Amino acid sequence: MRIVLGVAGGIAAYKSAHVIRRLRELGHTVTVVPTADALKFVGAPTFEALSGQPVTTDVFDEVDKVNHVRIGHEAELLIVAPATANTIAKIAAGLADDLLTASVLTTTAPIVVAPAMHTEMWHNPATVANIATLRERGVHVLDPAVGRLTGPDSGPGRLPEPEEIVAFALAAAEGGTTETGTAGSGTDRTDSAGSLSGKRVVVSAGGTREALDPVRFLGNRSSGKQGIALARAAFAAGARVELVAAHVDSGLLADLPAGITVTPIESTLDLQAAMATAAEHADIIIMAAAVADFRPARLADAKLKKSGDEGMSIELVQNPDVLAGLVADRRPGQFIVGFAAETGDAAHSAHEYAEAKFRRKGADLLVFNDVSADRAFGHDVTEVVILAAGDGASDVVDAATLAGTKDDVAQKVVAEIARRITPVESTP
């Protein structure tokens, strides 16, 4: 795909280098069109080296090629990341005083804008009105993240991570290409922000913990990385996302997009209650949390003390099957995805255990990974198999074997969900 990446003059311009690299890794041709101010943060040689294309900001450069029209005409996707308040205002007003804004006006390709600015600028009524205008015209706007800004400031306005920008933009391109219409007019341009646009998605992530006493707990080794990646991918595909978060690695929640609602939980019973509530209005449920199957029969009021060299016996009771309960109570048209971490033994392989679980649970898809020999928990790369129902009631087929980073896998799982869901009217 021929992609134009516009870069406006903000401190977040450095992240555009990673956007270029990721797009090139995926096989796309990238032409970078920075503003003059953007070059004060990142030099043209950097953009040229990463993109393999010449870089200019001036409409009078290479006049014989008519760049101010040609670049927009040739684009199949135009991304502005970062988009400052100033650049957003220019686009909303239809100005064309540099090569970037001229390209925006002449393109008929999907336009993706990733704002980055201080919180006060993002909340300013002028910016709010400009963003509303862009969305009304069919421009895909990725809300900024919440986090550390320039200097001591923190809040909404941070540019999302490059992986999220790329996922959002490619989803917009897949669902939002147009054959006719002038840039910014919205003519024949879909208002879908991605393959799950308008859907309500609830994702569970992390590992539940079952208290033994005020100090200790039973838990598992889940980092929560895969579930959080799924929440980001669903959000990038246009869904309204609620993340039900058990214990996750420190810092993962801080980098979530501002539009994702987070419900923290601790135990499996907490998870069951939170998921049941969220499921009442969800179109899609993704159960990626690592659930503790057992909990102590009794919770000690005080810390359990050692007694000499003797050991300790703890009676455990079985926790409810959260996924099976969600399947049993599902609403018409609701799509449910389960996750399974399995290991094999002398009797059966991990894959066979996963297939048996899929038949037993009744979800639409089961995403299974073999966690033997420390193959999944905590790592940034993974390999999974998606199990889906075959033609017969008891048949199981492999829909796909996916490998890569957890963000890559999450994007592919979300794409598989989008491919399989039956269109239903989303809850208003």
Say if residue 163 is in the same domain as residue 226. Answer: no
Query: Which pLDDT score, from 0 to 100, does residue 373 have?
Result: 56
- Please tell me the predicted confidence (pLDDT) of residue 306: 81
Q: Which residues pair with 29 in a beta bridge?
A: 2
| Rounded CA separation 323/363 (Å) | 8
Collapsed DSSP state (helix, strand, coil) of residue 225: helix
CA 255 to chain centroid: 11
Task: Provide the domain limits for residue 329.
Answer: 200-420
Q: What is the token pair recorded at 219?
A: 């838990």
**Strand ranges, E, within 207-251:** 210-211, 217-218, 240-245
Whether residue 204 sits in one domain with residue 169: no
The band of 425, judged by pLDDT with boundaries at 50, 70 and 90, is very low
Neighbouring residues of 137: CB distance < 8 A, sequence distance ≥ 6: 184, 185, 186, 189
Q: 210 and 131 in one domain?
A: no
Average pLDDT value for residue range 348-370: 87
282 and 168 within one domain: no
Radius of gyration of the chain (CA): 24
Q: What is the pLDDT of residue 177?
A: 33
How far, CA to CA in Å, does 363 sit from each of 232, 239, 275, 358, 420? 22, 20, 15, 7, 13
Question: Is the distance from CB of 109 to CB of 181 less than 8 angstroms?
Answer: no
State the CATH number of the domain containing residue 307: 3.40.50.10300
DSSP 54: -
Q: Which two tokens stand for residue 193?
A: 């922000």
Q: Tell me the HSE value of 82 on the side-chain side, using a 13 A CA sphere.
A: 26
Whether residue 36 lies inside any domain: the answer is yes
Percent of the chain with pLDDT over 70: 88
Both 170 and 246 in one domain: the answer is no
* 250 and 128 part of one domain: no
For 295-304, letters b (16+ CB in 10 Å) and e give: bbeeeeeeee
Residues 217 and 110 in one domain: no
Q: Which residues of 191-207 are buried (b: 16+ CB within 10 A; e: fewer)?
A: bbbbbbbbbbbbbbbbb
Please give the average per-residue pLDDT across 83-102, as a whole number: 95
Provide φ and ψ at 152, rounded to 5°.
-85, -5
Between 197 and 64, whose confidence is greater? 197
> Do residues 275 and 132 both lie within one domain?
no
Q: Is residue 184 part of a domain?
A: no
Whether the pTM exceeds 0.75: the reply is no
| pLDDT band, very low/low/confident/very high, at 255 (cuts 50, 70, 90) | confident
Do residue 210 and residue 156 come from a single domain?
Answer: no
| Model pLDDT, residue 193 | 35
Number of neighbouring beta carbons within 10 Å of residue 272: 19
8 A C-beta contact, residue 368 and residue 351: yes
Contact 291, 208 (CB under 8 A): yes
Residue 34 confidence (pLDDT) = 96
SS (H, E, C) 240-297: EEEEEECECCCCCHHHCECCCEEEECCCHHHHHHHHHHHHCCCCEEEECCECCCEEEC
Query: Would 194 be classed as within a structural domain?
Result: no
Identify whether residues 71 and 205 lie together within a single domain: no
- Identify the active-site residue in 67, 130, 220, 319: 220
211, amino acid identity: A
DSSP state, residue 40: G
- Total count of domains within the chain: 2
Q: Is there a single domain that holds both residue 404 and residue 269?
A: yes
Q: Is 220 a catalytic residue?
A: yes
In this structure, what are the phi and psi dihedrals at residue 338, rounded to the nearest 5 degrees? -105, 160
- pLDDT over 70 (residue 285): yes
| Bond prior to 144 in cis (omega within 30° of 0) | no
Average pLDDT over residues 375-379: 55
CB distance 214 to 271 below 8 Å: no
